[in-house]
Amino acid sequence: MDLSTITVRPLLVADIPAAAEVESLVFRDPWPEEVLREELAALGRCYLVLESGSRMVAYGGIKIAGGDAHLMTIGVVSEMRGRGLGTRLMLALIEEAVAADASHLTLEVRLSNEEAHRLYRRFGFAPVGVRPGYYADEDALVMWALDIDGPLYTERLSRIKEEMV
């Protein structure tokens, strides 16, 4: 597949069924369509889609409150993993967070999800604690990336973009 054909765009209400399908393919505890609708309608939310042709291959979202942003979800369908789509989606979400005046970004991730840990560390996230029982079957690692609106973080993002070319 030619990755130059992958497009990034906002998630629309009409995309909810496709996003729910991605959820069911990617996550052990997928969000139902109702939760996706509520998230999309909530204030301070930004959800983006990666598409290949007309097929959604990844999506993710952030919540912005005050000077902080929270990565709510990010998922790439399994057959498309390892091609830089998670990185591309993270870049787009972080750009949205910075454009909305966020200075810091946080997330929770399964303790066992080493693939996600690597992606987040690449983006400067550092573990700050554990949330016991955050998931039905597992604890969550809490991670933060600070000063995402500063020059050092901007340089980090520029390096990541250069590596993708």
Residues assigned a catalytic role: 108, 120
Calculate the CA dihedral of residues 31, 37, 42, 48 and round it to 10 degrees.
80
Other beta carbons within 10 Å of 87: 17
Identify the DSSP state of 140.
Answer: E
Give the whole-angstrom CA distance, residue 160 versus residue 48.
19
| Tokens read off for 119 | 């992606």
Give the whole-angstrom CA distance, residue 3 versus residue 22.
19
Angle (CA) 137-90-45 rounded to 5° is 75
| Tokens read off for 159 | 């390096």
Residue carrying structure tokens 């000077």: 67
